Amino acid sequence: MTQQTKVQTWQIGDFKVTRVVEMEMTGGSKFILPDASPAEVAPLDWMQPHFATSDGKLIMSVHALVIDTGSMRIVVDTCIGNDKERNMPSWNNLQTSFLDDLIGAGYPPETIDAVMCTHLHVDHVGWNTRLVDGKWVPTFTNARYLMAEEEWAYWDANEDEDTYGPILADSVRPVVEAGLADFVSQTHEICPGVVLEPTPGHTPGHVSVHITSNGEEALITGDCIHHPVQMTRTEWCSSADYDQAQGRATREGLLEKYVDSDVLVIGTHFATPTAGKVKRFDGGGYWLDVEV
């Protein structure tokens, strides 16, 4: 992946949103979307070439999104992170250039004001911390780390290191113990024009991030929609969903709310070009009209 495709920007009114990619991958997603077999995906030709290959293999991305209002810099989700012990071989002990790429995009860690975790899964909290002299320390030393109160309460009481590894221990608890964490409501206003939108189901306190500036709007999805294929096949649920029925209801409600609107939907795992407008699909469901 080139430096140019790792960093992508959108202008939402007076705000700028910048995507910084940690990794983008083709195939291997059956573990997370088990219904999305190549045979089922291939006929949905609207997803080619950006979100699926011609033979139906899904293309996905792990990236962070920086909202720059001019007076505040907010990182939404922090990917997988380097040096983390993970039970998935392709995510274990990564050594990526993510932090350098973030700096190259104009956002050194010390200039970030807030880190918003849409939820506390492994691929959304990793760069909350980095390894320094054998210790996990906050990456964004001047930021407040925000997470929904319901989300933190659930994982704090139901920590599970067997599935992916010691996620809370290396990526969440260090920022809490450093006094940098704020537990907020699912409708919290981070700053004027940047407000959380409850989108539960994938996790108990999952949120999306709604951006409004100078008459323009965007929505950062988090994982209520893992992949654009779930727009057309809304019944396809993630294996990582806490409550699949609620997750589907949330997804369908969100798509119906924003269909045929001017709201730019920016997917947290949507591959390049990542953002577009929700449209109705002739065969039922919806599709993403991308910005290219």
Q: What is the pLDDT of residue 275?
A: 98
| pLDDT > 70: percent of the chain | 98
Residue-averaged pLDDT of the chain: 96
Whole-angstrom Cα distance, residue 56 to residue 43? 8
User: What would the mean pLDDT of 36-48 be, rounded to a whole number?
Assistant: 96
Residue spans per domain, the chain: 3-290
**Nearest 5 degrees, angle CA 104-CA 111-CA 83?**
65
User: What would the mean pLDDT of 268-288 be, rounded to a whole number?
Assistant: 96
Tens of pLDDT, residue by residue over 209-235, are 999 999 999 999 999 999 999 999 999
Whole-angstrom Cα distance, residue 66 to residue 176? 22
Tens of pLDDT, residue by residue over 58-116, are 999 999 999 999 999 999 999 999 999 999 999 999 999 999 999 999 999 999 999 99
Q: What is the pLDDT of residue 5?
A: 73
Q: What is the pLDDT of residue 170?
A: 98
CA dihedral defined by 272, 203, 142, 180, rounded to 10 degrees?
-170
Q: What is the pLDDT of residue 292?
A: 63
Tens of pLDDT, residue by residue over 161-172, are 988 999 999 999
User: What would the mean pLDDT of 255-283 be, rounded to a whole number?
Assistant: 97
Q: In what order do the strands lie in the sheet with 194-198?
A: 189-191, 194-198, 207-213, 216-220, 264-266, 275-280, 286-290
Q: What is the pLDDT of residue 160?
A: 87
Confidence of residue 283 (pLDDT cuts 50, 70, 90): confident
Confidence of residue 247 (pLDDT cuts 50, 70, 90): very high
Q: What is the pLDDT of residue 240?
A: 95
Q: What is the pLDDT of residue 28?
A: 85
| pLDDT > 90: percent of the chain | 94
What fold, for 3-290? Metallo-beta-lactamase; Chain A (3.60.15)
The answer to whether 51 touches 271, Cβ cutoff 8 Å, is: yes
Q: What is the pLDDT of residue 186?
A: 98
Residue type, 110: E
Tens of pLDDT, residue by residue over 118-143, are 999 999 999 999 999 999 999 999 99
The answer to whether 127 touches 98, Cβ cutoff 8 Å, is: yes
The residue count of the chain comes to 292
User: What would the mean pLDDT of 235-260 be, rounded to a whole number?
Assistant: 98
The answer to whether 116 touches 86, Cβ cutoff 8 Å, is: no
* pTM of the predicted structure, to 2 decimals: 0.97
Q: Answer yes or no: is pLDDT of 10 > 90.
A: yes
Whole-angstrom Cα distance, residue 2 to residue 158? 39
Task: Map the chain to HEC letters.
Answer: CCHHHHEEEEEECCEEEEEEEEEEEECCCCCCCCCCCHHHHCCCHHHCCCCECCCCCEEEEEEEEEEECCCCEEEECCCCCCCCCCCCHHHCCCCCCHHHHHHHCCCCHHHCCEEECCCCCHHHCHHHEEEECCEEEECCCCCEEEEEHHHHHHHHHCCCCCCCCCHHHHHHHHHHHCCCEEEECCCCEEECCEEEEECCCCCCCCEEEEEEECCEEEEECCCCCCCCHHHHCCCCCCCCCCCHHHHHHHHHHHHHHHCCCCCEEECCCECCCCEEEEEECCCCCEEEEECC
In the numeric block, the tokens 């930021």 are attached to 143
Tens of pLDDT, residue by residue over 185-196, are 999 999 999 999
Residue type, 226: H
Residue type, 176: V
